[in-house]
Amino acid sequence: MPGFELWGEEEKKEVNDVLETGILMRYGFDGPRKGIWKSKQLEEAICRRFGSKYAQLTSSGTSALTTALAALGIGAGDEVIMPSFTFVASFESLLSIGAIPVLADVDETLTLDPSAVEKAITPRTKCVVPVHMCGSMADIDALSAICKKYNLILLEDACQSIGATYKGKQVGTIGHAGTFSFDFVKIITCGEGGVVMTNSEEVYIKCDGYTDHGHDHKGSDRGADQHPFIGYNYRISELHAAVGLAQIRRLDDFLDIQKRNHSFLKDILSQLPEISFRKIPDPDGDSCTFLSWFLPTEEITRSVVNELRAQGILAGNFYWYDNNWHYVRKWDHLKNVTALNRLTDAQEAALNKLKSQDFSASDAVMSRCISTAISLLWTDEQIREKGEKILNVIKKALSGQKEAI
């Protein structure tokens, strides 16, 4: 999955350019920076590579989501529909701008079930945030149609799916805005960082100001800039952008390796008819950072997970159903509203209802799902060995199951 696996000379060279001048900030210092503008260069590279009109770098994927939400005009009391399976950043960004997270079920795409989204819409709904989880994509056509029908904003969280496409378009560039994360474990990394992509000049200008204390960036004297609205500091540093600049040039190589390793492993696991695979709305567009597969029941899946653990080969295989960070089942801090600061009454009321919300449709999918992270470093021999070991563990679990009957 992650670009950090192939850290090398290219990244060091880009960082060194910044270290030579010592100008670690992306704005100002026009003289001493000697023409080195890594953040600007990375934004241009992102626009070119993904076909977005505008790109605004941020300090993280989480702050990219927060920035996009604010720039799209979403705030206090607005309901935003997000999936039950995603990273905690989804609700963190929503809560931080005063919005109300409304959780909807996922289906076998491991992303928002469009029919669950439609059922979750109320007169207060303002936006839908599909999360393109684990390298693949949501059913964007169905979700776009719902957003059009109800006049809702579509914000794509493509943090985990850099380089994935849907019907020829890059995910993250299809909705009103979209985000990537460049944190350390994403497909390409800056160490820490993120980006908002949009085709709307108005949304972009708002993102640009919001991430830098409201600066309008119209002159060359920062102190004389106007502040047309209130902002925050979600800036990326030049050091981080420099790493990303080297990584984006290598993205297509990373994707090629991932796709190859993914298809090799999938061929091996396909030998067992009891294994089924994640539904992918556009299979050709999968970025292939994970191979996600299902077993027939939760019981069999649990015994496979236990056996993988016992054999010391669980690492790299994710059973999200038990995971503290990615699935609603373990989000006790959210359901108990354990926040450091007071949330709004409307937010508290909505979160209190999560404890009794029925997520059985999501449970039925997630309790049978294991995602295997695809490494860029695997040799063919290692993939074969890994695949065979997983197959044997599953066969053992299945035969144990038969004996029990």
Instruction: Work out whether 156 is an interface residue with ligand PLP (CB under 6 A).
Output: no
Q: Which stretch binds ligand PLP (CB under 6 A): 72-80, 85-93, 301-309, 397-405?
A: 85-93
- Rounded distance, CA 317 to CA 308, Å? 9
CB 62, min distance to ligand PLP, A: 3
Of 23, 46, 69, 89, the one binding ligand PLP (CB under 6 A) is 89
Instruction: Work out whether 159 is an interface residue with ligand PLP (CB under 6 A).
Output: yes
Instruction: Work out whether 183 is an interface residue with ligand PLP (CB under 6 A).
Output: yes
Q: Which is nearer to ligand PLP, 68 or 305 (CB)?
A: 68
CB 162, min distance to ligand PLP, A: 10
| CA 348 and chain centroid, separation | 26
Nearest to 70 by CA among 204, 258, 271, 254: 204
Q: Where are the beta strands (DSSP E) in 144-278?
A: 153-157, 165-166, 169-170, 177-181, 194-198, 276-277
Distances 124 to 80, 144, 355 between C-alpha atoms, Å: 9, 18, 21
CB 220, min distance to ligand PLP, A: 31
Amino acid at 86: T
Instruction: Work out whether 1 is an interface residue with ligand PLP (CB under 6 A).
Output: no
Q: Which is nearer to ligand PLP, 147 or 159 (CB)?
A: 159
Q: Which of 148, 167, 169, 186 is catalytic?
A: 186
Active site (annotated) includes residue 186: yes
Q: Which is nearer to ligand PLP, 96 or 115 (CB)?
A: 96
DSSP state, residue 354? G
Nearest to 296 by CA among 280, 328, 272, 322: 272
CB 60, min distance to ligand PLP, A: 4
- Rounded distance, CA 337 to CA 197, Å? 31
Question: Which parts of this chain interact with ligand PLP (CB under 6 A)?
Answer: 60-62, 86-87, 89-90, 131, 157, 159-160, 181, 183, 194
